[in-house]
Structure 1
Amino acid sequence: MPLFAIAFPMIDPVALQIGPLVIRWYALAYIAGLLIGWWLAKRIAGRDAYWGATAHPKPLDVDDLIVWVAFGVILGGRLGYVLFYDFALYVEEPLEALKLWRGGMSFHGGLLGAALALALFARSRKLPVLPTFDLAAAVTPIGLFFGRIANFINGELYGRATDVSWGMVFPGGGPEPRHPSQLYQAALEGVCLFLLVQILARSGALKRPGLVTGAFAAGYAVARIIGEEFRQPDAQIGFLAGGLTMGMLLSIPMLLAGLALVVYAARRPAAA
């Protein structure tokens, strides 16, 4: 073990409290991700040159789409956490599932919830589904970045014990220095994935419906699997067979589906 370790910066999870009203950094992270994603999605939707002849949501559609996605992410993320990560607890105490302020959100569940919301929205507006998915995929890494930063502020989802010089002692993580895996994941799932989908969106990929969505899905799966190599598994689950974690297991089908969608979209002619 190293002689020195970085002390965790004790940031209050509560950003602002006014009487009984409590605003947490975790909630602000979701709000920031949605608002910045909404702003960028409107800009991308308004750039017809990015899309060519592909029918796609317009900037005014994005104003309503963000509401659908917000509900899909919150409901799907919470339900996914209940089913995948701590089902036994919520069977015994089902009302705990309603206490969102205590944390516990699953990205994969939120992704499925958002996908369902996007599909229903596209159907209600008579929009093609894949371009609607592509628009959302182009901005989703923004929310992932803020979400991981909020995980770090909360001192949750910390990494495995390590002897690297930047190891950090987390409250609740014992005396051993640990990887600040939340920051690794913010860089991989947030920054790197954002650059990937933005480069694709601006270089003609939106003219091939499904290409940006597939690249996002496959890219996220790879980033998550790498991040899981440093992240401490959830205590109630631990390691699965073969040293896999639940995050890895849920990312494998996402990787395969993303690659399949990339191949499908790349084989179709671009909409000039």
Structure 2
Amino acid sequence: MLAAIQFPGLQPEIFSITVFGTELALRWYALAYICGIALGWWLVARMMKRPALWRGGAPMAPKKAEDLLTWMVLGVILGGRLGYVLFYQWDYYRENLGEIAAVWQGGMSFHGGFLGVVLGVVGFSLANKAPMLKVGDAVATVAPIGIFFGRLANFVNAELWGRPTTLPWGVIFPGPAAQDCAAEFGALCARHPSQLYEAGLEGLLLGAVLFWGVWRRGWLRTPGKAIGVFLLGYGLSRVIVEGFRQADAQFITPDNPWGHVWRLGQDAEAFGLTMGQVLSLPMVALGVLVLLLVRRRA
């Protein structure tokens, strides 16, 4: 008997209703986005009401948090979708360009969403003549909230599962994960619940560090510090968890070590790097660079 945890009977849809012949559904993934964005907006507005947290005052009026929210939503959705298309599935979408906009079919990339948010911060700051580093610090502080809810939704959807394991907390995932086990081992297998590992590291732990630093240590008084900590913390967390997560089907090979980022070879384990690690290591380096620059300016 396999000593593991059976995946709970969770469905991607919370509920669905039919209106005039059209089925409308609320999915856990959508709820995760809603909760993450709503809580992030609320906390950013609260930070703007605390000028003492900042050197020289808050970067914008509290009511401007609503405008920032719009930029962030667009950045997450557009960047996340385009990142998934370019980084992970370009071979498919270049032959099916009409499906790129079909976000309801699934397929979002954190790193693409991250780049979208960066552009959103830049665009908002320029449009509102707000100090860019301060705005970025506010966004970085609340970002782990959305990451936490998003990873929980990944678990509920039984997607982005981990590698096979014999550990007692391994989970027997249904659907494609079970099919992969059957194809490789001829039977069911348990997998690391890597989605929960990511929720804990990238969401809870990183969020706790940032909140402690902002509210207890005055990090917002040093522009760029929260950004640096987020970049370093997320990058390291993702590199670690990728060791337990089933590798994505994009990779590096000796024949193509520096190829296009959306198609990096033929082996998921080439050089011991997964696509997630390839995309996260620059975040680690950038986080260290930002913190060094901030320290020199302090």
How does the TM-score come out when normalised to structure 2?
A: 0.87
Equivalent AA in structure 1 for residue 270 of structure 2: A
Cα distance in 1 for partners of 2:191, 2:58 equals 48
1:263 deviates by: 1.1
Match in the other structure for 1:135:
138
Q: 1:55 and 1:12, CA in 2 relative to 1: closer, same or farther beyond 3 A?
A: closer
Match in the other structure for 1:4:
3
Match in the other structure for 2:258:
none
Equivalent AA in structure 1 for residue 292 of structure 2: V
Give secondary structure in 2 for the equivalent of 1:163: coil
Equivalent AA in structure 1 for residue 268 of structure 2: F
Match in the other structure for 2:206:
193
Give 5+ residue unaligned stretches, structure 1.
none
Match in the other structure for 1:165:
168
Give secondary structure in 2 for the equivalent of 1:127: coil
1:6-155 alignment runs, 5 A limit? 6-19=5-18, 20-54=23-57, 56-155=59-158
Give 5+ residue unaligned stretches, structure 2.
182-187, 252-266
Equivalent AA in structure 1 for residue 16 of structure 2: Q
Equivalent AA in structure 2 for residue 25 of structure 1: W
- Is the Cα–Cα contact under 8 Å of residues 240 and 246 in structure 1 kept in the other structure? no
Q: What are the Cα deviations for residues 213-249 of structure 1, in whole angstroms up to 9, with x where unaligned?
A: 0110110000101110100012465525311000000
Give secondary structure in 1 for the equivalent of 2:10: coil
Q: What number of residue pairs does the alignment pair up?
A: 268
CA RMSD of aligned residues (A): 1.3
Cα distance in 1 for partners of 2:213, 2:282 equals 22
Residues 209-218 or 90-99, more deviating: 90-99
- Is the Cα–Cα contact under 8 Å of residues 51 and 58 in structure 2 kept in the other structure? no
Give secondary structure in 2 for the equivalent of 1:4: coil
Match status 1:219 vs 2:233: yes
Match in the other structure for 1:267:
296
Give secondary structure in 1 for the equivalent of 2:94: helix
Cα distance in 1 for partners of 2:232, 2:167 equals 29
Cα distance in 2 for partners of 1:215, 1:236 equals 28
Identity across matched positions, percent: 48
How does the TM-score come out when normalised to structure 1?
A: 0.95
1:10 deviates by: 2.1
- Is the Cα–Cα contact under 8 Å of residues 5 and 169 in structure 1 kept in the other structure? yes
